[in-house]
Amino acid sequence: MAQFEQNIEALIFASEQGIRMEEIMYCLQAALNTEIDESAVIKAISNVTKKYEADAFAIELVKINNGYQFLTKKVFHPVISQLQLQRSKKKLSQAALETLAIIAYKQPVTKLEVEQIRGVNCDYSIQKLLEKELITITGKAETVGKPLLYATSNLFADYMGINSLKDLPAMNELSDPANTIGNQQE
């Protein structure tokens, strides 16, 4: 049974993104050429999770976006933040973050709609978000010219550390009272 758990541990470790239960079961069934019971996989994942809770490990197994992924424990975040500072050139620019936020809250949305909200051209930001696979093209709008529609990708949830779009703050939580003009009436 330990080999079974090690196979699951290896799958999760080797996955660049969170790996879903269905993917784990498919890979195990294909590699081991046998039927796999989901409850056995759940028990094995639980055992692996418990194993990495020990202080001897700097990583832990977490469930994000309905998938399993190894992440650094929070106690090590200050050290990791130094690494992130060194690699900051790979971070998203303010313009890209603003564009991504608009797409996340308004999806599916056209580039023109994003530009109307931001008030500036968004070609570069959208291209960078597509390259980083944080957004995807979901189709074409039924308007004149059939512009492309953009939405967030599954990688977006991983990048933001959330399970679903429902975990994003509500729009009213984001508004700053300092940005309002005049008296607000209820």
- Domain range summary for the chain, segments of one domain joined by +: 2-77, 88-173
| Range 55-73 average pLDDT | 93
What is the identity of the amino acid at 121? N
The single-letter DSSP state of residue 125 is H
Sorting pLDDT into bands at 50, 70 and 90, what band is 87? Answer: low
Predicted local distance difference test score (pLDDT) of residue 85: 65
Predicted local distance difference test score (pLDDT) of residue 186: 47
**CATH code matching the domain that covers 88-173, chosen among 1.20.1530.20, 1.10.10.10, 1.20.1290.10, 1.20.120.550:** 1.10.10.10
Rg (the chain; Cα; Å): 21
Please check whether the two domains, 2-77 and 88-173, share a CATH topology. yes
pTM metric for this prediction: 0.51
Predicted local distance difference test score (pLDDT) of residue 56: 94
Tens of pLDDT, residue by residue over 99-155, are 999 999 999 999 999 999 999 999 999 999 998 889 999 999 999 999 999 999 988
Sorting pLDDT into bands at 50, 70 and 90, what band is 172? Answer: confident
| Range 165-185 average pLDDT | 66
Looking at the domain 2-77, which fold is it?
Answer: Arc Repressor Mutant, subunit A (1.10.10)
Q: Which phi and psi angles does 19 have, rounded to 5°?
A: -105, 130
Is the pLDDT assigned to residue 183 strictly greater than 50?
yes
Q: Which of 1-5, 55-59, 76-80 has the highest mean pLDDT?
A: 55-59
Query: How large is the greatest C-alpha to C-alpha distance in the chain, in angstroms?
Result: 69
